[in-house]
Amino acid sequence: MILRKAKGLHIDGRKQMSKESPLHEHLNPQFVYIPLLQQTSALKRTVEVGDDIKIGQVVALREGFGAMPIHASISGKVTAIKKVWHCSGKMVEAIEIANDNQQRMADSIMPEADVTHFTREELIEKMKQAGLSGLGGAGFPTYVKYQTKSSIDVVIINAVECEPYLTCDYMLLNEYPEKLLKGLHYFMRAASAKRGVVCFKSYNKHIRESLQPLLQKYEGIELREIKDIYPAGWEKYIVQQVTGKTYEGLPAEAGAIVDNSATAMVFADVVEKNIPLISRVITITGEGISKPRNYYVPLGTPVKELIELSGGYINGLVHEKAWYIAGGPMTGRAILIDDLIVSDTLGAVIVKPMPDEKMHPECLGCGKCADVCPVFLTPTEIRRAYESKDVDAIKNLNAQKCMACGLCSYICPSHIEITDFVGKAKDLLRKGA
């Protein structure tokens, strides 16, 4: 059993601030920027400046591992190839598309007359051609999971959303509950699995109220409440809760495939309407935002526009005094500006006033980081091994098992970004330096 002593940690979710406003659509930004980067893979551009573009048209290709097309999220004209800020913290080249506000669709987007005849192979191919990637933050090509040779007993939908502040999955699920079940049903067919499980936090009673009446239409699907602890959304934790099994590499070893809830809803549209991955919901929130909200937007939408739609910053907060986080506060990345674009892996931008208090720069040796580590590491020792560039020590301390949940940094009374050090140690170990 995993988590043999670490029970997780209850964290103030601070989610209510972005739940108070309904899901807002912002479908017509003036420009979108399609980044020529997915995960760590550079993309090959297939359009030129001046080209006329329709929604769903292929504009770039991911090659090599996870090869698949990338699609335009609006209709209009390619006006530039320029560098933009990405949630990875880097500036990357992107395709700038000026919106013609006509929402012209590519010919490939049309409703399917009959979705019952698709074979497993055809459903997997649909994932690939739709450019479907995991919307939970990792951005892993979804079809690759389903090409496994392992026998899959269950497809698990991760609707736990355990990161504080984030409510994008929750808001989308409550808006389109049946679409989630449809997507899971199609995933089960693609995996030849007889069982599907939707996992969600126990306090989100509304999810059960929305889904329970619909279950009779979808054979083999059940709901599972998960404790309100962090990191309950961790893939290994969820697989263990559902199957009673653990694994070393991939969930398929335990007879499971895990998908994010938003990914399942996109897949429903992929199967039924041939709409590729062109949009997502993003949470704009934090103590520095006037009106925290969730937005349904085309991929490539500038975040700055969404902050303006959220009433801008709180009174008295200036850009230089704002602290930005791309993603959740536990696993996201601190960024310097709000001038970045929405990508498939960006579920939130959190804006907070920069803290005034001075932080203790040294480790106190309290051991709290080791106490909360879900995989039983000693993060401070890994940090010391990294600082001395002791690769053997890093290996012996099992740094490669770190899941980058961020709990060690969260719990640290000295506010040391221990997670970053452990990540650097893992990089050093991979390089063998």
Whether 243 and 377 map to the same domain: the answer is no
Q: Is 66 exposed, middle or buried (0-12, 13-18, 19+ CB in 10 A)?
A: middle
Q: Which domain holds residue 394?
A: 368-431
Length of the chain: 433
Given 221, 253, 273, the domain boundary residue is 273
- Residue 107: count other Cβ atoms within 10 Å of its Cβ: 9
Whether 267 and 124 map to the same domain: the answer is yes
Whether 247 and 378 map to the same domain: the answer is no
Give the CATH number, domain containing residue 208.
Answer: 3.40.50.11540
For residue 43, pLDDT beyond 50:
yes
Given 273, 308, 341, the domain boundary residue is 273
CA 148/CA 257 separation, integer angstroms: 10
Whether 269 and 373 map to the same domain: the answer is no
Q: What is the pLDDT of residue 4?
A: 44
Whether 124 and 264 map to the same domain: the answer is yes
> For the segment 136-153, what is each residue's pLDDT rounded down to a tens digit?
988 999 999 999 999 999
Question: Does 338 reside within a domain?
Answer: no
> For the segment 112-137, what is each residue's pLDDT rounded down to a tens digit?
999 999 999 999 999 999 999 999 98
Task: Of 251, 133, 250, give the one whose Cα is nearest residue 241.
Answer: 251
pTM: 0.88
For 69-103, b where at least 16 C-beta lie within 10 A, e where not — what string?
A: bbbbbbbbebeeeeebbbbbeeebbbbbbbbeeee
> For the segment 350-400, what is each residue's pLDDT rounded down to a tens digit?
998 876 655 556 787 888 888 888 888 898 888 888 888 988 888 889 988
> For the segment 249-295, what is each residue's pLDDT rounded down to a tens digit?
899 999 999 999 999 999 999 999 999 999 999 999 999 999 999 99
Given 273, 291, 314, the domain boundary residue is 273
> For the segment 44-82, what is each residue's pLDDT rounded down to a tens digit?
999 999 999 999 999 999 999 999 999 999 999 999 999
CA 234/CA 204 separation, integer angstroms: 18
Question: Does 165 reside within a domain?
Answer: yes
Question: Does 304 reside within a domain?
Answer: no
Question: Hey, what's the torsion of the CAs at 285, 288, 291, 294, to 10 degrees?
Answer: -10
Whether 232 and 129 map to the same domain: the answer is yes
Question: Does 309 reside within a domain?
Answer: no
Domain count, the chain: 2
Question: Does 142 reside within a domain?
Answer: yes
Q: Determine which of 3-12, 96-105, 222-231, 406-415 has the lowest per-residue pLDDT on average.
A: 3-12
